[in-house]
């Protein structure tokens, strides 16, 4: 069974640009959540989707958005990039998003110059 796949793995952008990250969950998993990981901050919850609906959102500005498609694949978008957006963005999938195990992708490392 294929794991969680995130693309691209690495990307470099400049301030003001926008970026779109993609996540393909494990087959059959309907919940996809996104996290921002930075040194010293740990993982900060961005949002969670289930069956194309956003069920919860973290405390991030509106520049961060996401969506989920009918095949459970998810994308997150960051507009008007700032230097502080440089981070590892992790996607995790689970069957239902309840207290079961989260399965993480390897992440997309974003560097903003």
Partner 1 sequence: AQTVTQSQPEMSVQEAETVTLSCTYDTSESDYYLFWYKQPPSRQMILVIRQEAYKQQNATENRFSVNFQKAAKSFSLKISDSQLGDAAMYFCAYRSAIGTYKYIFGTGTRLKVLA
Among 3, 8, 16, 61, binds partner 1 (CB under 8 A): 3
Q: How far is the CB of 47 from partner 1 (least distance, A)?
A: 8
Q: Output 55 or 67, the one with its CB closest to partner 1.
A: 55
What is residue 52's three-state secondary structure?
A: coil
The rounded distance, in Å, linking the Cα atoms of 32 and 48 is 6
Contacting range for partner 1; rule: CB under 8 A; set: 10-18, 19-27, 55-63, 67-75 = 55-63
CB of 29 to partner 1, least distance (A): 13
Q: Is 70 in the site for partner 1 (CB under 8 A)?
A: no
* 91 lies in the site for partner 1, by CB under 8 A: no
Contact indicator for 50, 97 with CB cutoff of 8 Å: yes
Decide: is 56 part of the binding site for partner 1 (CB under 8 A): yes
Torsion of CA 55, 61, 64, 69, to 10 degrees: 20
Q: Residue 41: CB partners within 8 Å, gap ≥ 6?
A: none
Site for partner 1 in 18-37 (CB under 8 A): 31, 33, 35
The answer to whether 58 contacts partner 1 (rule: CB under 8 A) is yes
Strand-pairing partners, residue 37, are: 43, 88
């Amino acid at each position: 069974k294929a794991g969680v796949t995130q693309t691209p793995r690495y990307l470099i952008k400049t301030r003001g640009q926008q970026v779109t990250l993609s996540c393909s969950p494990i087959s059959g998993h309907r919940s996809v959540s996104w996290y921002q990981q930075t040194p010293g901050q740990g993982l900060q919850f961005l949002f969670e989707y289930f069956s194309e609906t956003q069920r919860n959102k973290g405390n991030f500005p509106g520049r961060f958005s996401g969506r989920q498609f009918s095949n459970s694949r998810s994308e997150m978008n960051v507009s008007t990039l700032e230097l502080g957006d440089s981070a590892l963005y992790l996607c995790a999938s689970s069957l239902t998003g309840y207290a079961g195990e989260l399965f993480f992708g390897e992440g997309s490392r974003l560097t903003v110059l």
